[in-house]
Amino acid sequence: MASNPYSFGETDQVLVEEKSSARIFTLNRPKQLNAVSFQMVSRLLDLFLACEEDPSVKLIILKGKGRAFSAGGDVTAVVRDITQGNWRLGANFFGREFILNYVMATYSKPQVSILNGIVMGGGAGVSIHGSFRVATENSLFAMPETALGLFPDVGASYFLSRLPGFFGEYVGLTGARLDGAEMLACGLATHFVPSNKISLLEDALCKADSNDPAVISATISELSLVPNLKEKSDCHRLNIINKCFSRRTVEEIISALEREAADKEDEWISSTIQSLKKASPTSLKISLRSIREGRLQGIGKCLVREYRMVCTVMRGEISKDFFEGCRAILLDKDKNPKWEPSRLEQVTEDMVDCYFSKINEEGWEDLDLPRRSNIPPCAIAKL
């Protein structure tokens, strides 16, 4: 039975349930807030590929155990691997993770992700690319990478750039947190279902016994509602977000915000400026460019580019901010990272270019995405 991809086990990082034609995968590292590890990624990838081949499977439901859907990639493990030896181990992890993201984005069967809790970074990567994303009142979404010296990866340059106006730049650069209602409003979620109806939803989906996206969508819609946005929601700020975050460079974005702040006292503006000033300058610059390029590219190209970027980050030749960020936020938790370069203007165009170029090192190659034929149109762009 070694070849059976559905082998079960309580210690598995992914739990698998089989209910009629549906498969329910549960991310199972509740103590680590279901942080996406190499093992979990590999397991999910095997499961997804096997289910695609298996004609008896019509639908995949993905959820998290405990209070998080997934708080992101297991970055501490990656940093540990790199500092102990070769950055290639980290590259291996990200490469596998991105391939999983790609398979999900081009998947031929519906994937319903139930986002009943924290969804951040790598957690967004394993859900947002799928066809259906169900938010609840417990959802908490963020792409916090710029505060960590990284950048929104896992295909975020694809899905963030497809949010309305320049909301994606805002979310990606500031690491702003969104609740379930906001996720629905901006399109990160396709549905909102109150958490007390989630088990009903699972049953209904299994009973639906269908791979037809229209049927699945109708099934979820029956239990879903449109929640009100909170009064101070970022979604009410679209005008100012578009005005400022559409600027060509990070420096111009910040000065546009500062001009707005000069006009009127506003807590939202000043906290937005604060989060930009706290983030790694290098991260901000490469993130902005990544989102801008991503808007004009397909998901495959986005992931190939992000892979170049993440490998450059891990090599640490241009900047070691990723390690410093992990130290300050995740390990020492002093929340006081010392970025290097420390100011935006010190991050030159040439430095930024390096992150987008091939890596000149023997044995390194661009991310080799699996060839996926017969991609259904609904799988190409979800947002």
Partner 1 sequence: MEKVNFRTQILNGHLQNHRHATSTAAIISASPCVSYVPPEVSEQPFSFDVSSMRKLMDGHNLGERDWLFNLMVQSKLFNPRLRGGKVFVVPDYNHSMEQQREITMKRIEYLLDHGVFKGWLTGKGPEAEMKKFALLEVIEIFDHSLAIKIGVHFFLWGGAIQFFGTKRHHDRWLSATENYLIKGCFAMTELGHGSNVRGIETTATYEANTGEFVINTPCETAQKYWIGGAANHATHTIVFSQLNIDGNNQGVHAFITQIRDENGNVCPNIRIADCGHKIGLNGVDNGRIWFDNVRIPRENLLNSVADVSPDGKYLSAIKDPDQRFAAFLAPLTSGRVTIAASAVYSAKVISIAFTLFPIISGELISSYYCSILHRYLILIFSHQISLAIAIRYALTRRAFSITANGPEVLLLDYPSHQRRLLPLLAKTYAMSFASNYLKLLYVKRSPQLIKTIHVVSSAFKATLTWHNMRTLQECREACGGQGLKTENRIGQLKGEYDVQSTFEGDNNVLMQQVSKALLAEYVAAKKRNKPFKELGLEHINRSCPVIPAQLTSSMLRSTQFQNDIFCLRERDLLNRFAAEVSQYQAQGESKESAFVVSYQVAEDLGKAFSDRAILQIAIEAENNVTDASIKNILGLLRSMYVLVTLEEDAAFLRYGYLSTDNAAAVRKEVAKLCSEIRPQALALVSTFGIPDAFLSPIAFDWVAANSWSTVEN
DSSP helix/strand/coil, 25? strand
Is 267 among the residues known to form the active site?
Answer: no
- Under the binding rule (CB under 8 A), the answer on residue 341 touching partner 1 is no
- Under the binding rule (CB under 8 A), the answer on residue 292 touching partner 1 is yes
- Under the binding rule (CB under 8 A), the answer on residue 293 touching partner 1 is yes
Shortest Å distance, C-beta 374 to partner 1 = 6
- Sole residue written with tokens 């891990």: 314
User: Do 369 and 300 touch, CB atoms closer than 8 A?
Assistant: yes
- Under the binding rule (CB under 8 A), the answer on residue 197 touching partner 1 is no
- The CA–CA distances, whole Å, from 173 to 122, 249, 276, 306 equal 16, 12, 7, 15
Closest CB to partner 1 among 191 and 382? 382
The binder of partner 1 chosen from 50, 223, 261, 375 (CB under 8 A) = 375
Closest CB to partner 1 among 342 and 348? 348
Instruction: Look at residues 103, 126, 104, 96 and name the one whose alpha carbon lies nearest to residue 114.
Output: 126
Q: Which stretch binds partner 1 (CB under 8 A): 55-63, 245-253, 271-279, 316-324?
A: 245-253
Shortest Å distance, C-beta 212 to partner 1 = 6
- Sole residue written with tokens 């661009």: 366
Contacts of 199 (CB under 8 A, 6+ apart): none
Q: How far, in Å, CA of 339 to CA of 74, rounded?
A: 22
Which is the catalytic residue, given 97, 153, 260, 306? 153
- Under the binding rule (CB under 8 A), the answer on residue 373 touching partner 1 is yes
Is 145 among the residues known to form the active site?
Answer: yes
Count of other CB atoms within 10 angstroms of residue 82? 21
Q: Which stretch binds partner 1 (CB under 8 A): 140-148, 186-194, 210-218, 329-337?
A: 210-218
Q: How far, in Å, CA of 21 to CA of 236, rounded?
A: 41
Is 73 among the residues known to form the active site?
Answer: yes
Closest CB to partner 1 among 363 and 377? 377
Amino acid at residue number 17: E
Q: Residue count at the site for partner 1 (CB under 8 A)?
A: 34
DSSP helix/strand/coil, 75? helix
* Structure tokens given for 56: 């008896």
Shortest Å distance, C-beta 246 to partner 1 = 6
Closest CB to partner 1 among 85 and 376? 376
Looking at the DSSP assignment, which residues form a beta bridge with residue 26? 15, 63
User: Which 112-171 residues touch partner 1, going by CB under 8 A?
Assistant: 161, 164-166
Closest CB to partner 1 among 107 and 322? 107
User: Do 328 and 191 touch, CB atoms closer than 8 A?
Assistant: no
Instruction: Kindly list the strands in the beta sheet with 14-19, ordered across the sheet, starting from the edge strand earlier in the chain.
Output: 14-19, 22-27, 59-64, 111-115, 132-135, 191-192
The binder of partner 1 chosen from 65, 80, 88, 247 (CB under 8 A) = 247
Is 95 among the residues known to form the active site?
Answer: no
Closest CB to partner 1 among 255 and 270? 255
| Region of 224 on the Ramachandran plot (φ > 0 left; ψ -120 to 50 alpha; else beta) | beta
The binder of partner 1 chosen from 117, 300, 325, 337 (CB under 8 A) = 300
User: Which 211-240 residues touch partner 1, going by CB under 8 A?
Assistant: 212, 214-215
Strands (E) located in the chain: 14-19, 22-27, 59-64, 68-70, 111-115, 118-120, 132-135, 140-142, 178-179, 191-192
Which is the catalytic residue, given 90, 95, 122, 125? 122
- Sole residue written with tokens 């901010």: 321
Pair type for strands 111-115 and 22-27: unpaired
Q: How far, in Å, CA of 154 to CA of 320, rounded?
A: 20
Q: Which stretch binds partner 1 (CB under 8 A): 63-71, 76-84, 95-103, 295-303?
A: 295-303
Count of other CB atoms within 10 angstroms of residue 167? 26
Which is the catalytic residue, given 74, 81, 97, 145? 145
- Under the binding rule (CB under 8 A), the answer on residue 296 touching partner 1 is yes
Closest CB to partner 1 among 246 and 336? 246
Closest CB to partner 1 among 138 and 242? 242
Active centre residues (catalytic)? 73, 122, 145, 153
The residues that touch partner 1, with contacts defined as CB under 8 A, are 161, 164-166, 210, 212, 214-215, 242-243, 246-248, 252, 289, 292-293, 295-298, 300, 349, 371-381
